[in-house]
Structures are given as C-alpha cells and as structure tokens.
A = this chain, B = another copy of it.
Amino acid sequence: MSEKLSIIVFSGTVDKLYPVAILASGAAALGMDVEIFLTFWGLNAFRKDMVKGNMRISKDFEEMAPTVMQVFKEKNVPHWFDMLKQAKEMGNVKVYACAMTYDLFGMKKEDLVDIIDGVVGVGEFLEKAKESQITLFI
C-alpha cells in the first residue's frame, strides 16, 4: 500500500494555502498518496468565486503582505491553486469537501472548483487519515 499524507485544510488565508499546495506537490512527487479535507474557511476558499480573488493573508503578518506579494510576482511563483491542480495531474491527490461545512452553508457542487473529488463526513476522513504516515491540520 502507498504511503499517505493527509491534510485537514481549515484555514483559508493565502499564506496557508501555499503550504497545502507545496506539501501536496512534494508528497505526490515522492509517490505518496495525498488526501485533502477542506473544512470551514478552507472549503470557502475553494468556491469558484473565491479561489483566484482571495487575497486574504494571516492578520498576524498583514503588514508584510505587500512585500511578500511583490516577491511572489517578481519570482513568478505560480498561484497556489495552479500548484495544487498540477499536483493532482502528477499523482494520486484527492480533494474532499467536509460534508458538515458543505451542508451548513448550503453549498452546491457548482459553487465549488472542479478539482473536488467528493463530499465526505469527518468519520470517513478519519478512517482514511488514520492509515496515513503524516496528518496535518493547517
């Protein structure tokens, strides 16, 4: 059985979505399976109308945001969402929406970006995550 990285994506700030995409890419490049569980603010960031326009950076480091954005632009760092899509093309990366968040906010499949592989409950996610070598809450 393949080794696996599981990530619960709770936060929806851009600075935390980058590590999600980068860890997923890194794990996929190593041949690890990756399972991502989008919940709360994390799922909200995967709405079609949010995904590319979201410029939210952690308030803790807000005053450094313009500098960081400038560096990302100069160095042609790809958008985190494009990184994640590429990770999916490269390897076995699954992206799930948290059923509770999905239902609570009355989301519809068409509200969300098309890289989402399904809507799963917390129990189903835990069943998968407990077989993982690494599980992170981001």
Interface residues of A (CB under 8 A from B): 3, 5-6, 8, 10-13, 15-16, 18-19, 22-23, 25-27, 29-30, 32, 39-41, 56, 58-61, 64, 71-72, 75, 77, 100, 104-105, 121-123, 125-127, 129-138
Contacts and interface: CB of A to CB of B under 8 A. Distances in A.
Contacts of A56: 60-61
B32 A130 contact: yes
A130 B134 contact: yes
B3 A10 contact: no
Nearest to A62: B59
Contact of A12 (B3, B61, B132): B61
Contact of A60 (B13, B18, B127, B129): B13
B126 A32 contact: yes
27 contacts: A8-B19, A10-B19, A12-B60, A12-B61, A13-B60, A23-B122, A25-B122, A26-B121, A26-B122, A26-B123, A26-B126, A32-B126, A41-B58, A41-B60, A41-B61, A41-B64, A56-B60, A58-B60, A71-B104, A72-B104, A75-B104, A130-B133, A131-B133, A132-B134, A134-B135, A135-B136, A137-B138
A6 to B, nearest CB: 8
Q: Sorted from nearest, which 4 A-B pairs have the closest CB atoms?
A: A26-B122, A130-B133, A136-B137, A59-B59
